[in-house]
Amino acid sequence: MDYRKLGHEITELVGKKDNIARLTHCATRLRFELHDISKAETEKLKALPGVITVVNNGGQYQVVVGNEVQQVYRAITQQMGSASRSEGSQSDSSNSKAPKQKQSWISRFISVISTTFTPVIPAIIGAGMIKAILAVLVLTGLVTTESQNYYILNTIADAAFYFMPILLAYGASIKFETSPILAMTVAGVLLHPGWSALMSEGKDVFFIGVPVRLTDYAGSVLPIIIVVWLMSYIERFAERVSPSMIKFFTKPMLVLLITAPLALVAIGPFGTYLNDLVAMGAEAINDRASWLIPLLMGTLQPFLIVTGTAWAMTPIATSQLTKNGYEMINGPGMLASNIAQGGATLAVALKTKNKKLKQLAASSGFTAVLGITEPSLYGVTLKLKKPLIAAMIGGGVAGIYAGLTGLVRYAFVSPGLAALPAFIGSNPMNIVHAIVTCLIAFVVTFALTWVIGFDDPVDDEERDNTKANHDEALSRQSVQNNPQGIQSSETTTATVTPHNKLRPLTIVSPLQGELVHLDRVPDDVFSLGLLGKGAAIIPAKGELYAPITGEVTAFMDSKHAIKINGYDGEEVLIHIGVDTVNLKGRHFESSIKVGDRVQKGDLLIRFDIDAIKAEGYEVITPIIVANSDRFPDMQLEEQGSVKVGTTIIYLSKQA
C-alpha cells in the first residue's frame, strides 16, 4: 500500500491540513479533531482503498484504517510538517485552537478520556505485555518471584502504571491546549518522594494554615485530568498578566505556584474521591451480580466501539489495575466480545462465495481473535448485520460465564488469543476460565452465524455476467443517447479470451480540446498521480461524453466529477476543472445518476466554460485511471488537439 498517497488523500478529504486542529491515533484508527467538521467528505473517505470506515463520535472524527494506522499517521504528519512528533501526539497545526462544537456532557467526557489516554496506550500496552510475559516465566518456573530478574522486569512493567499521572498529564495537556511540560511537572509534584515521605510519617499536614489530605496519587487517573483542565485556565491568566519583557520567567512561575498547591490541597483529593466513588460503585455491582458487567461488555462492546463510547470505562479499569493488580471491568467482557467478533467473521470467510469478502473476512477474522476487532467489525459484521447480531449474542453468553467464574485481567492489553498470558495471575484457574470464555464465545458465535446466515454480496465475476446480459438493450438505448455517433472499437459484450493473451483496451477523449500531461493540472492530487495515472484536457467545448462503456459508480452532487467502472475492470475518474466543487453545481447540467449504465460516447454533462472561468476557476480536466496499477502497460497518446471519441489512453488486460 502507498501510505504517502493514502495519507494525502485522507488529509484532503478531512478539509485539508488547515482544518486539522489535532491528530492522534490508537491501534486501528486516526483520531482527528477538526475546526469545521462540515468540510470533511465522509462518503469519499469511506470509499478510499485502505479506509475501513469513518466514525464521528465522542468529539472526534475517526478514520479507521486497521493495523497500518502508524504508517498512515506518519505519512500525514510528514505532509503537515510535524514528522518529528511522537506517535499519538498532537499534530502541529499552526497553534490553531480546537473546534468549539456543541456537544453533550457525555460526548465531552468521552472526548477528554479518549484524547488523554490515546498517547498513553503504547506505554500501558507495552507494560501490560511485559507483565503477561513475566506471568508466563513464573508459571513455567524460568523465573521466581524472589529473583532479581523478576524484580527488575516487574519494575519496568509497573513504571507506566505508577507514573500514570505524568503520562496522562501529557495527553490532557493536548486536549486542554496547555503546556505539556508544565502539566507533567505538576504531575511530578503529586508523585514526588517528599510527598511520599509525608504520607509515611502519618502526621497532619498544613499549607498556609489549610489542612492537606495525604493521598497516594500513584496510578491515579481523574485527579491529574482535573488538575490539567484547571491549569489551562491558570496558564491563560498567567499569559495575560505577565509583562512581556519578563514573561519568560513569570508565566511558568505563576502556573506552578498556583496550580501545584491547588492540586495538593483541593483538586487532587477531590479527584481521588470521585475516582474511588466510581470504582466502589463498579465493585458493588460486581459483588451483587458478578455476571452483569461482563455480560453487558461482551454484548455491547461493538456498539460502544461504533458510538465512540468504549473509552468511558477505561479510567476505572486502569485504577483497578494499579490498586489491586487486576481488573474485572473491561478485560473479561472485551475478551468475550473480541473472540466472538473473530468467530463471526471467520464463519463468513468459510461460508461466503464472494472472493473479495472471503479474503477480507479471513484476514480481519484472524486479527479479531488476536484482539484487534475494528477491521472485522467495520469491514464485515456491521455491513452484513446478521453476523454482528450473532457476535453480540455469543459475546454476551461468554461474558456471563466470565462473570460467574470471577475472571479478571492482570495486565492492560487488548484482550484476545495473543494476550491470554495477561489472564495468568495469583489464581491458577483464572487462565482456564479465560480459555473457556474464548471457546464459548467462538463456538456459539460461529454456529449462530453459520445457521442464521447472511446476505452474501454478489461477486464481481457474477456481476459482470449479469451486465453482459444487458448489453444488447444498452446498445439500443445508446443509439438515442449518442448525438456524436461515436463508434467503439471494442465490443460491449463480455467476451471470453484465452488466459494466456493480452487484449487491448482504450479510453477515448470525453472532450473536445487540447490533450496535455497531468503535470499541467494545478492540483497536486492529480499532477502527482496520487489518484492514479492518466491525462488531462483543456476543453474547448462544454460537453463531456463517456470515455468508456460501463456503470456510473460515483457522481458528485456538484456535477463536476464522475467515475465510471468499465466492464473490463478499468475505473475512470473525470474531474471537470480545479476546485470546481465550490461552485456547488452552478454552470453544470446533467441527468446522470449513480448506477446508470452508459455507452462509450454517451453525453454525460454539459458545462459553461466561460461562466466557470469568470468565477475564477480553471477548467482543465483530468481523466484518471483510478486503478492504473492494474495496467502496467498503460500508454498515453501524444499531446495536441483532440476530438470527442479520439483514443487518448491505451490499456491492456490479462484475460
How high is the pLDDT of residue 27? 61
* Alpha carbon distances (Å) from 5 to 10, 52, 203, 295, 520: 9, 16, 62, 42, 19
- Considering only 311-315, 380-384, 518-522, 523-527, which range has the smallest mean pLDDT? 311-315
Q: State the distance between the two ends of the chain, measured CA to CA, in whole angstroms.
A: 24
Helix locations, 30-90, DSSP H: 42-47, 69-79
Nearest Cα neighbor of 575 from 644, 527, 504, 630 is: 527
* Beta carbons of 89 and 119 less than 8 angstroms apart: yes
* Alpha carbon distances (Å) from 558 to 189, 555, 582: 57, 8, 8
CA–CA gap between residue 523 and residue 614 (Å, rounded): 19
CA–CA gap between residue 541 and residue 538 (Å, rounded): 9
Q: Cα 49 vs. chain centroid, distance in angstroms?
A: 13
Q: Catalytic: 560?
A: no
* Beta carbons of 650 and 635 less than 8 angstroms apart: yes
How high is the pLDDT of residue 57? 66
The tens digit of pLDDT for each residue in 281-298 reads 777 777 787 788 888 888
**Higher pLDDT residue, 434 or 44?**
434
∠355-358-362 over CA atoms, to 5°?
A: 145
Q: 115-132 burial string, b = 16+ CB within 10 Å, else e?
A: bbbbbbbbbbbebbbbbb
**Higher pLDDT residue, 265 or 476?**
265
Give 304's pLDDT tier (boundaries 50, 70, 90).
confident
How high is the pLDDT of residue 500? 37
* Structure-derived torsion over alpha carbons of residues 256, 261, 264, 267, reported in degrees to the nearest 10: -90
| Residue whose cell numbers read 455491582 | 285
The size of the chain, in residues, is 655
394, three cell numbers: 455469543
- Considering only 66-70, 134-138, 509-513, which range has the smallest mean pLDDT? 66-70
Nearest Cα neighbor of 545 from 648, 651, 652, 650 is: 648
Stretch 628-651: mean pLDDT, rounded?
84
How high is the pLDDT of residue 96? 40
Q: Which residues contact 643 (CB under 8 A, 6 or more apart)?
A: 509, 512
CA–CA gap between residue 281 and residue 21 (Å, rounded): 36
Stretch 80-96: mean pLDDT, rounded?
42
* Beta carbons of 587 and 608 less than 8 angstroms apart: yes
Nearest Cα neighbor of 23 from 112, 103, 88 is: 88
Q: 606-616 burial string, b = 16+ CB within 10 Å, else e?
A: ebebeebeeee
pTM: 0.54
Q: Which residue out of 26, 438, 560, 587 is catalytically annotated? A: 26
Q: Which residues contact 119 (CB under 8 A, 6 or more apart)?
A: 24, 86, 88, 89, 167, 170, 171, 174
* Alpha carbon distances (Å) from 177 to 33, 107, 122, 340, 560: 13, 18, 22, 39, 40
How high is the pLDDT of residue 311? 63
CA–CA gap between residue 588 and residue 461 (Å, rounded): 35
Flag whether pLDDT at 585 surpasses 80: yes
* Structure-derived torsion over alpha carbons of residues 394, 395, 396, 399, reported in degrees to the nearest 10: 120
The tens digit of pLDDT for each residue in 327-382 reads 888 889 999 999 999 999 999 999 998 888 888 889 888 988 988 887 788 778 88
* Beta carbons of 317 and 399 less than 8 angstroms apart: no
Q: Which residue out of 8, 35, 560, 575 is catalytically annotated? A: 575
How high is the pLDDT of residue 606? 94
∠410-151-122 over CA atoms, to 5°?
A: 50
85 CB burial (10 A radius; 0-12, 13-18, 19+): middle
Question: Phi and psi dihedrals of 621, rounded to 5?
Answer: -120, 110
Q: Taking the CA atoms of 505, 510, 514 and 517 in sequence, report the sign of the dihedral they define.
A: negative
**Higher pLDDT residue, 135 or 183?**
183
Flag whether pLDDT at 195 surpasses 50: yes
Q: Catalytic: 575?
A: yes
How high is the pLDDT of residue 166? 92
Give 77's pLDDT tier (boundaries 50, 70, 90).
confident
HSE at residue 149, side-chain half, CA atoms within 13 A, is: 9
Flag whether pLDDT at 475 surpasses 70: no
The tens digit of pLDDT for each residue in 208-251 reads 888 888 888 887 788 889 899 999 999 989 988 888 788 888 88
CA–CA gap between residue 88 and residue 70 (Å, rounded): 9
Stretch 586-599: mean pLDDT, rounded?
90
CA–CA gap between residue 178 and residue 181 (Å, rounded): 9
CA–CA gap between residue 150 and residue 137 (Å, rounded): 9
Q: What is the mean pLDDT of the chain?
A: 81
Task: Give the rounded percent of residues in the chain with a pLDDT score beyond 90.
Answer: 25
